[in-house]
Amino acid sequence: MDTFTMDRMIIPVWEWSNALNLIAHKFPYRYKDFAQSISRHHWQHKSNLVEQISMINTHESPVVYVLGSWYGAVLVPLLMHHIPDIKKLYLFDYDPEALEICYTLHERYNHIIKRQLVDVNFEIDKLKSYEEQPNIVINTSCESMWNMNDLLLGPNVLHALQGNNFPETSHINAVPNMDIFKSRCGLTDIMYENEKPYDVDSAHTMYTLIGINHE
């Protein structure tokens, strides 16, 4: 039992201490990257996404896949808070160091988290072969991946997808508008859609879609 204040904090930020120590000790060149991962716009877009998922989702004890999970710094605690009965949370990323930091960052949830070193662009069939298939798939970095309509993981799976038009070399699939984002996502039943400024004072846009592909 912690204090009244700590018990009511959605994000146990004091537990980040170990992860920050790990970064300082072993991966000092990543501190800026980690700082970026918890910047305001990530909280804004990801909390909106998870809040919407929690209202739309009808699966009990869902299995959740996160494609391109990075550190999961924002998404993991939000998911655990808003969908507390998650059965298993699979985090897929091609960055082994990010996954190592992620392990320390989310120690309290490690009993239900399974991390996989995967480049989703090239190994989607590997994900499709897993015995435990997802009820919910989240991809908050569609701009860095191949079109989601080729990466969808089965019918009746709730897909929550975000992409943007922010110009950056790693954004190999930036989308100019919502219509194109929809066409690249391939969801046949869209339950939520939204476009918001990418960041405060940003001229760029974050596109969000939540829905199902019935085909």
Partner 1 sequence: MNRVSVLCSLWGNKYSVDYVNKLYNMVKKNCPMPFDFYCQTDHDGLLPQIERIDFDSELPESTPHEMQASDNYINGLPRLWDRPKLNYWKPKCWGIDGIKIAFDIDVLILNNLEPIFEQYFAQDKAFTGRSWWHNMEHEALPQWRRRYGARNNGGFYMWQDHQVKGIWDDLIENYKFIYFCFHGGSDNFISTRHLDKFAFVSHEHMYSFNRGVKWPDDLAMWQYRPEKIICVFNTDVGYPLHKDIHNSSEAFPWIKEYWQ
Binding site residues, partner 1, CB under 8 A: 29-30, 33, 94-95, 97-98, 121-122, 144, 146, 168-170, 172-173
The residue (of 4 and 29) whose beta carbon lies closer to partner 1 is 29
Starting at the edge strand found earlier in the chain, the sheet holding 63-67 runs: 113-117, 88-93, 63-67, 136-139, 158-164, 205-212, 189-197
The span from the CA of 197 to the CA of 164, in Å, is: 9
Of the candidates 181, 211, 183, the residue with the CA atom closest to the CA atom of residue 196: 181
Q: Which is nearer to partner 1, 94 or 109 (CB)?
A: 94
CB of 151 to partner 1, least distance (A): 10
Q: Which two tokens stand for residue 143?
A: 């701009």
State in angstroms the smallest separation of the CB of 125 from partner 1.
10
What phi and psi values does residue 168 have, to the nearest 5 degrees? -160, 145
Residue number with CB closer to partner 1 (103 or 146): 146
The residue (of 33 and 193) whose beta carbon lies closer to partner 1 is 33
H or E stretch at 196? strand 189-197
Of 30 and 182, nearer to partner 1 (C-beta) is 30
The number of angstroms, rounded, from the C-alpha of 54 to the middle of its chain's C-alpha atoms is: 14
Q: What is the smallest separation between the CB atom of 94 and partner 1, expressed in angstroms?
A: 8
Give the nearest distance from C-beta 2 to partner 1 in angstroms. Answer: 33
Q: Specify the 3-state DSSP secondary structure of 192.
A: strand
Continuous segment of H or E residues that includes residue 102: helix 96-105
- In whole angstroms, the minimum distance from the beta carbon of 115 to partner 1 comes to 16
